[in-house]
Amino acid sequence: MLTSPDQALLLARWQFAFTVSFHIIFPAISIGLASYLAVLEGLWLRTRNTVYRDLFFFWSKVFAVGFAMGVVSGVVMSYEFGTNWSGFSTVAGSVTGPLLAFEVMTAFFLEAGFLGIMLFGWHKVGPRAHFFATVMVATGTLISTFWILASNSWMQTPQGYALEDGRIVPVDWWQIVFNPSFPYRLVHMALAAFIVAATLVAACSAWHLLRGRGDAAIRKAFSMALWMLLVVVPIQIFVGDAHGINTREHQPAKIAAIEGLWETEHGGTALNLVGWPDMEREETRWAVKVPHLGSVILTHSWDGEIRGLKDFAPEDRPNSTIVFWSFRIMVGMGLLLLLMALAGLLLRRGGRLYANRFFQRFVLLMAPSGLIALLAGWITTEAGRQPWVVYGVLRTKDAVSAVSAQQVGTSLMIFVVVYFAVFGTGIYYMLKLMGKGPDLPRDAAEAAAPDTGKGAPRFDHRPLSRPTDPIDE
């Protein structure tokens, strides 16, 4: 039987895992789409090709809903630091607090200030000012990524601080922000967000191609997204590899758990392709091994040493069963995406890209792959940091508030209900918008509609206010 503080800890962890996992979906989409929108509007200004403008309007609607969801679901987390994790706030707030404050000051306000103009100001400001607003929103999302990843990376590989009567005192902010794992994590996350957006754009276009809509906007979006993936996915694999080597250096227990490796092997470590790490038995059952491959991947040498989990005290080990599999799901998705991008390249020869229905079905099926990889990656890095909240400094069990399990449990239930109702609707609406697709090039009816005088709503003035986008029809 769990005692109440243990229950409160467990529930607080579940609550944070639930809210943060729900939340990250939306910023990932916003970060990727914001940059895509800036590119589209830039191309529209440069080429005056209406295809780019139509795509801009279309994806800005999806972006608007995703962004609103991201803002409201994000507010929850910063309060959880206080409500559920006051031990963390008291001990580490001196470092994570300023980083969060910088995020709010440099990113949130930039986004909020220019979002209104981007979404509602199409006819209130000139085209260049509007483009500037879009670029500012995109920049804001990336600055946000910078600070949050600085904070998270510092919790993974802390440096630049001193301990004074149990509390962390920052000493060197440069070292804190640019901690050892920060560059890898930042690039890995930003690329992941671009991949998320590109898979969504590609899958949405594939859906419309499959339904027989082959107009220029759809083809353009399909082609752009696949080019994007072809460039970014290989870079991501390269960055992920470098990140792994960095983790082996700074968080060896996490790597051992990811690999399901118990003994420190000498003269070259094998790689467990699949298997079932068992925390009780201290072994990985039913393992399928490839000799030396572990060393080759993680040390880039034939016989590099990787420390096994038994090198660490049982209370310092992360849960290998979880991270072993979450890591493999992430890598699997990455490889499938690489395959998809390469297949797209092959099909371009001879113009089969827009005709091959099998490929389009595959792309559609891959719609959630970016998000699944992203979530699996975050689970790997966060669960792999356990049992620490600040690696090597503050244990998760010492970070929880002195609140009752009842309070945490009640709020968890409220969040589950609210999140599924509210964000479920939001996701449904985003899918609905995507299913509808960009507006067809002005059809005859629209072109013939009389302009009803001054201030009358005109097609190109109303990116988000098209009455043709009901949620429930």
Partner 1 sequence: MTIDLPVVWAAIIAFGVFLYVLLDGFDLGIGLLFPFFDREHDRQTMLNTVAPVWDGNETWMVLGGASLYAAFPVAYSVLLPATYLPIIGMVCGLIFRGVAFEIRAKARRSQRLWDVAFMMGSATAVFCQGLILGTLLQGVPVVDRKFAGGPFDWLSPFGLLAGLGLLVTYATLACGWLIMKTDGDLQRRVHVAMKPLVWLLLAFIVAVSGWTVLGQASVAARWFSLPNLFFFLPVPLLVVLCVAGILHALGKRYDRRPFVLTAAILFLGYTGLIISIFPNIIPPGLDIWAASSPPSSQKFTLVGAAIIIPIILCYSAMSYWVFRGKVRHDDPGYH
- Selected from 30, 35, 60, 73, the binder of partner 1 by CB under 8 A is 73
Judged by beta carbon, residue 83 or residue 264, the one nearer partner 1 is 83
Closest residue by Cα to residue 141 from 93, 45, 74, 235 = 74
Mark 105-144 with x for binding to partner 1 (rule: CB under 8 A) and - for no binding.
xx-xx-xxxxxxx-xxxxxxx-------------------
Determine the Cα–Cα distance for residues 366 and 255; give it in Å rounded to an integer.
Answer: 28
According to CB under 8 A, which residues from 49 to 68 bind partner 1?
Answer: 64-65, 68
**Minimum separation from the CB atom of position 382 to partner 1 (A):** 20
CB of 46 to partner 1, least distance (A): 24
Shortest distance (Å) from residue 403 CB to partner 1? 5
- Tell me how far, at minimum, the Cβ of 367 lies from partner 1, in Å: 22
Q: Compare residues 210 and 471 and give the one whose CB is closer to partner 1.
A: 471
Binder among 7, 86, 299, 321 for partner 1 (CB under 8 A)? 86
Cβ 346 to partner 1 shortest distance, Å = 40
Tell the burial category of 364 from Cβ atoms under 10 Å away from its Cβ (0-12, 13-18, 19+): middle
The answer to the question of residue 87 lying near partner 1 (CB under 8 A) is yes
247 contact partners, CB below 8 Å, separation of at least 6? 181, 254, 255
Which of these ranges, 93-101, 186-194, 276-284, 382-390, lies near partner 1 under the rule CB under 8 A? 93-101
The answer to whether the bond into 387 is cis (omega within 30° of 0) is: yes
**Does the footprint of partner 1 cover residue 150 (CB under 8 A)?**
no
In the DSSP assignment, the letter for residue 312 is S
Nearest distance from C-beta of residue 446 to partner 1, angstroms? 15
User: What DSSP string describes 219-261?
Assistant: HHHHHHHHHHHHHHHHHHHHHHHHHHHHHHHH-HHHHHHHHT-
Rule CB under 8 A: is residue 178 a binding residue for partner 1? no
CB of 18 to partner 1, least distance (A): 14
The only residue of 2, 126, 173, 339 in contact with partner 1, by rule CB under 8 A: 173
Q: With 0-12 CB in 10 A as exposed, 13-18 as middle and 19+ as buried, what is 185?
A: buried
The token pair at 99 is: 């980083």
b/e sequence 274-301, b meaning 16+ C-beta within 10 Å: ebbbeeeeebbeebeeeebebbbbbbee
- Residues 383-442 interacting with partner 1 (rule: CB under 8 A): 401-404, 406-407, 410-411, 414-415, 418, 422-423, 425-426, 429
> Shortest approach of partner 1 to residue 128 CB, angstroms?
14
Compute CA 8 distance to the chain's CA centroid, rounded to the nearest angstrom. Answer: 28
Could you say which residues in the range 213-232 bind partner 1, by CB under 8 A?
none
Q: State which of residues 42, 97, 252, 387 lies at the interface with partner 1 (CB under 8 A).
A: 97
CA distance 264 to 266: 7
Part in contact with partner 1 (CB under 8 A); list of ranges 34-42, 95-103, 186-194, 243-251: 95-103
- Pairing mode, strands 271-278 and 283-290: antiparallel
Between 169 and 335, name the residue whose CB sits nearer to partner 1.
169
Q: Nearest approach, Cβ of 161 to partner 1 (angstroms)?
A: 9
Question: Which is nearer to partner 1, 169 or 231 (by Cβ)?
Answer: 169
Q: Which is nearer to partner 1, 178 or 362 (CB)?
A: 178
Q: How far is the CB of 83 from partner 1 (least distance, A)?
A: 5
In sequence order, what E strands does 143-217 have? 161-164, 167-170
Residues in contact with partner 1, counted by CB under 8 A, come to a total of 82
> Residue 409 carries which side chain, given as an amino acid letter?
G
Helix (H, G, I), strand (E, B) or coil at 393: coil
Cβ 438 to partner 1 shortest distance, Å: 17
Bridge partners for 285 per DSSP: 276
Segment interacting with partner 1, rule: CB under 8 A, options 89-97, 184-192, 251-259, 440-448: 89-97
CB 264 within 8 Å of CB 299: no
Residue 392 neighbours by CB under 8 Å, 6+ apart: 158
Tell me which residue has tokens 């639930």.
18
Task: Return the number of the residue (151 or 236) whose C-beta is nearest partner 1.
Answer: 151
Q: Which is nearer to partner 1, 170 or 252 (CB)?
A: 170
Look at the chain and count its residues. 473
Q: Give 388's strand partners.
A: 395
